Amino acid sequence: MALVALQSDERRALAGGGYAQLEDLWDSAVADDLRREARVGWSSAAPPPDGPRTPVSEGRARGRPTPVATGPLLSRLHADLVRVARAVSGQLLAPTFAVYGYFPFDDEVVLHRDTDATDVVLLTTVLGRVGPLRLHPELEDATNDELGRLESDPAWDGASGVPVTYPRLGVCAFRGRRIPHHRRGRPVAELSAVAALHYRAVFR
């Protein structure tokens, strides 16, 4: 898979808000192949056996974890993007896992931080369209219980946080296990999916 080289001004650490947008890393043919693989994967998608679980109130519990699937093309992209993840983070990273996450009805993501296997996550849109993810660097030191109380509070502003989008021909990179993130759900017009490629620092 031919990837476009990073431009010099894109070779930067995840600073400030802890995220970076990297556009035009591959061409539309790669995006089309990912879209086809994700659509095929939907037939066997299932909730992950483990992962982050924010303790929310019964009223805020979705009751349906995001179904996920994977595929050989996604696995190849995961390996190919190691150099991108390393360049943008300034860390020696190794791939951990990569999945398509599906949103058949709405695009909700409960406030959470990613697993310990995710020092950096790269996100790209592969099917349909989801709204911006909202990052909360100000909550970096919050416990999972504190995140759960915020998510469960009807008065909490669901439009808060730094909104980031997922490019179709590139990625949004951010520090998933450090920065809590969420998306208040809205209906999706069609089956939508995001590819999430996770990397862990070899040395911490």
Distance of CA 166 to the CA centre of its chain: 8
Q: Judge whether 6 lies within some domain.
A: no
Cβ–Cβ < 8 Å for 120, 176: yes
More confident call, 77 vs 56: 77
**Where does the pLDDT of residue 10 fall: very low under 50, low under 70, confident under 90, or very high at 90 and above?**
low
Per-residue pLDDT, 99: 97
- Structural domain tally of the chain? 1
Residue in 35, 7, 32, 34 with CA at minimum distance from that of residue 22: 7
**Per the domain annotation, does 13 fall within a domain?**
no
Q: pLDDT by residue (tens digit) across 27-43?
A: 999 999 999 999 999 99
Assigned token pair, 73: 């093309």
Over residues 128-143, the pLDDT tens digits come to 999 999 999 999 999 9
57 — pLDDT class (breaks 50, 70, 90): very low
- Residues spanned by the domain of 187: 18-201
| pLDDT recorded at residue 51 | 60
CATH code of the domain in which 115 resides: 2.60.120.620
* 40 within some domain: yes
Residue 129 phi, psi dihedral angles, 5° rounding: -155, 135
User: Is 10 a member of any domain?
Assistant: no
Cα 137 to Cα 14, 112, 176: the distances in Å are 12, 12, 10
Q: pLDDT digit string (tens) for 97-124?
A: 999 999 999 999 989 999 999 999 999 9
3 falls within a domain: no
The answer to the question of residue 8 being in a domain is no
Whether 64 maps to a domain, the answer reads yes
Asked if residue 9 is part of any domain, the answer here is: no
